[in-house]
Structure 1
């Protein structure tokens, strides 16, 4: 029986351009109005701990130039090296296109389990994210009763589709480099039976319904007119429902970690998956209720999943507006607003406690009410630090939002207590979590990572270059990351706040970061593709 995704789904209804669910106010200016009433108490957010110059009105030193790294996901890690084949043994299991001895066949069997199926099945999934678009070219075999995943070929391009506002044709053409890669990878005889789907995520949601619809239609036309691959019949080119994004990421991780396959031993615990993108963040886990009077409340957060012959009742939520890039915008907007109340600082650099000491960043700030966009120079100076930045995050997280159905995590969103329903389960952090944490970890060993690890890293990063040099001076890659990202302090502090304050994990809760497993990208794409190839596939005539 093929793996199946429950058809239970509904439209992902969020405020386009907003920062949270429609029934809650995440970080609105009404809250700021209340904050202003207590402005004396809030000034301490930005006050220095020593009587030092804060840099108000400080002129930018033209001799100081630091490269700024693009804020996009890092490229995937290379697949692990394959062991050499030994004479007289079965060929090694391929985990990449290069290690596959025959792209038209498989090393697992010589004939499909079902005579009507093809021995090998390719499938294409394009992730149209907020910072770039990525194609995943997957190879499956039909040696068993359902398609079995073998490996993927990955390629990315930037910028993302949302960068092409009012340019639908240019947006569609930006995917050509990805689809051309698919043409070169998929054997010609299999191309017309290789389904393709394009799933846009939070970045395109925030663009607006009219503009995003035009881009999606242009992508669909180009796929059908220029390329041989059949478009997935249902939802071939769509903005993906936020709940599906999280659940598919959960399927990908737990499938690769062998916790939910048909042959997985009963009662094998699954991983909780937390995925941090540019515009949104998702959490998915399988809560266990031990108290007789407790259960998962009904609602959009509840996802009934049939997979591998088993039933999984998942909790999921996608927080639109709480991705890393959107969190940065929220912090910068708050800092600019508070600076405007302190003094006449028009045109002068602004001290930002979430920038590392000694760093500087020109940020774009857009006033919500007026819609006016301006560039503001923000500096770390001597006011930066983990503690000061963490106090800003307390406002950004909207922890005191109205909770209609208890218990809540943050932003007034219902979530079963992780302490009660997932007390010792394994936690996997994906995407930007990995991209920011991994470069700062020791390269010669795999350290134990807890929630407090993020706080400790943030404390060191926020202190500036002297601390960087002492901690990571011998690691050129780490220093390049730190020197090229003035907001590294902000990023790590937000991640810690998300885990500690938002989801209420304990400081000693162990977590795992991940990017790939044996050359396969972690994220929602493989999970969505497994659902696609497990359905009714049709070849293009």
Structure 2
């Protein structure tokens, strides 16, 4: 199927998000942009909230979960609306900011196409991914379009190199080789390269995380690409959810619509998990904890999202929490067991730079009910449940939601629509046929049970809630990377 061209309104996607409940006055103007109707058959129709659940607090979490991160932006610098510029600045405008330039290029004239690129690294807990975006501007009075994306991932994640930062830097060098093959050489000096780390580095002690970031910065500096200020950082967890929400709703066409019908997003990483949606009821925002909301302007509309990132509740961290291993001592001699694992399974698992010995229970019992009980203890009392998720909202779920659904045969490689109850049904099947599915992935029973419990007892979804599982939308990865790239282009004043 031919992927439709995606209109990139980069200069509209600029500014600041606010977690405070404070509106501000923005420029009153009518933006002009090319409208392209996307096939979007999902809506986020949410009922009024009547008795929202009280805020849940987490206790007993090891201190390693909350190291003080390096100085970073608390919220994305995206989405501040600016007046329309009908005559884009020539490349010499970029020259002022990009020290790699040696000469200004000729102004952009009508009838002439201009191509530019952006490179975004997603340094997650289970792997590092590179997103290389190609944009085309065909006319100075029209907005650029997103032409395509080159995506590649490498394992393990940077956090696994906490004691060997130089080796972590080498993984970035490998991915930069792909960037050099993808981006034409004449574009290298004006193509920005950015890395944002997520939960994997947020879980590390500050000094070790900083050592890795410093190494990546040095690798960037030796590359032929443009390295902007603060090009290497740890991203605030709330940013992940908001920028992923922008990416998915942009790709599905919802942000072009005046109906304000959007889809929520569920992202399940290795170290953290995010939920973000646009509430229908003001009560959802009013009753949410202050740090669970974000406000911004986009397409001359004000959006106030419900969003939160739960650090330590990503799929890999949750495995170790279920096993009672995360934050434990005596890792050299202890073996952590679970009825969620095949009885004869025994393996060493490395996460955030620490290695754990884990196994099934050779002479014990295994199965869905016992596994659910173990997983429930990890989730119970941690999550705030917005009342509106019990309504008819549609959510896009990706990352490990998608990966586990594909591994178990719940959906095919192209994804698809499922209900929450489908995860429960498949989890029971996997756990009760552990020998069969254990050969695919010994953690499948634990992971599928965790996802089921997370959706039902964590976030509070009904079993009938529809989830759209997707790895890509319009051939672009469903992640926060595209939204983050919009942000950096705003800083470069590319129109």
| Structure-1-length-normalised TM-score | 0.67
Q: Does the 8 A contact of 1:246 with 1:283 survive in 2? A: yes
Q: Does the 8 A contact of 2:348 with 2:355 survive in 1? A: no
Q: Does the 8 A contact of 1:359 with 1:380 survive in 2? A: yes
The counterpart of 1:502, out of the listed 458, 462, 479, is 458
Corresponding residue of 1:136 = 131
Question: How many angstroms apart in 2 are the aligned matches of 1:365 and 1:138?
Answer: 32
Corresponding residue of 1:459 = 428
1:270 CA displacement: 0.7
Question: How many angstroms apart in 2 are the aligned matches of 1:348 and 1:241?
Answer: 33
Question: How many angstroms apart in 2 are the aligned matches of 1:113 and 1:312?
Answer: 34
Corresponding residue of 1:197 = 194
What residue ranges of structure 2 are gaps of 5+ in the alignment? Answer: 1-8, 20-55, 63-105
Question: How many angstroms apart in 2 are the aligned matches of 1:325 and 1:122?
Answer: 33
1:449 CA displacement: 1.1
Q: Does the 8 A contact of 2:293 with 2:304 survive in 1? A: yes
Corresponding residue of 1:418 = 388
Runs of 4+ in 1 over 3 A off after TM superposition: 23-29, 111-118, 143-147, 293-298, 334-337, 346-351, 363-366, 379-382, 442-448
The counterpart of 1:271, out of the listed 240, 245, 263, is 263
Question: How many angstroms apart in 1 are the aligned matches of 2:363 and 2:428?
Answer: 15
User: Equivalent residue of 1:318, what SS?
Assistant: strand
Q: Does the 8 A contact of 1:121 with 1:139 survive in 2? A: yes
CA-to-aligned-CA distance 1:400-436 (integer Å, 9 cap, x gap):
xxxxxxxxxx34x4x532246xx22211111000000
Matches within 5 A, 1:21-170: 24-28=57-61, 119-143=114-138, 145-170=142-167
Q: Does the 8 A contact of 2:323 with 2:337 survive in 1? A: no
The counterpart of 1:385, out of the listed 355, 360, 367, is 367
Corresponding residue of 1:237 = 232
1:169 CA displacement: 2.4
The counterpart of 1:529, out of the listed 472, 485, 489, is 485
Matches within 5 A, 1:266-305: 266-289=258-281, 295=286, 297=288, 299-305=290-296
Q: Does the 8 A contact of 1:133 with 1:161 survive in 2? A: yes
* Alpha-carbon spacing, 1:376–1:429, altered in 2? closer, same or farther (3 Å): closer
Question: How many angstroms apart in 2 are the aligned matches of 1:521 and 1:162?
Answer: 22
* Alpha-carbon spacing, 1:322–1:114, altered in 2? closer, same or farther (3 Å): farther
Question: How many angstroms apart in 1 are the aligned matches of 2:215 and 2:413?
Answer: 48
Question: How many angstroms apart in 2 are the aligned matches of 1:158 and 1:335?
Answer: 21
CA-to-aligned-CA distance 1:465-521 (integer Å, 9 cap, x gap):
57x4xxxxxxxxxx6xx4131111000000011100011101111111110123211
Corresponding residue of 1:516 = 472
Q: CA RMSD in A?
A: 3.4
Corresponding residue of 1:487 = 443
Q: Does the 8 A contact of 1:276 with 1:431 survive in 2? A: yes
User: Equivalent residue of 1:140, what SS?
Assistant: strand
1:537 CA displacement: 4.9
Corresponding residue of 2:399 = 431
Corresponding residue of 2:346 = 361
* Alpha-carbon spacing, 1:248–1:359, altered in 2? closer, same or farther (3 Å): farther
1:223 is aligned to 2:214: no
Corresponding residue of 2:304 = 313
* Alpha-carbon spacing, 1:193–1:350, altered in 2? closer, same or farther (3 Å): closer
1:115 CA displacement: 6.5
More deviation, 519-528/294-303: 294-303
1:191 CA displacement: 1.3
* Alpha-carbon spacing, 1:249–1:380, altered in 2? closer, same or farther (3 Å): farther
Q: Does the 8 A contact of 1:352 with 1:380 survive in 2? A: no
User: Equivalent residue of 1:284, what SS?
Assistant: strand
The counterpart of 2:175, out of the listed 178, 195, 203, is 178
Corresponding residue of 1:252 = 247
Pair member with larger Rg: 1
1:352 is aligned to 2:361: no
CA-to-aligned-CA distance 1:116-169 (integer Å, 9 cap, x gap):
997212000011111111111101123465432221011122222111123222
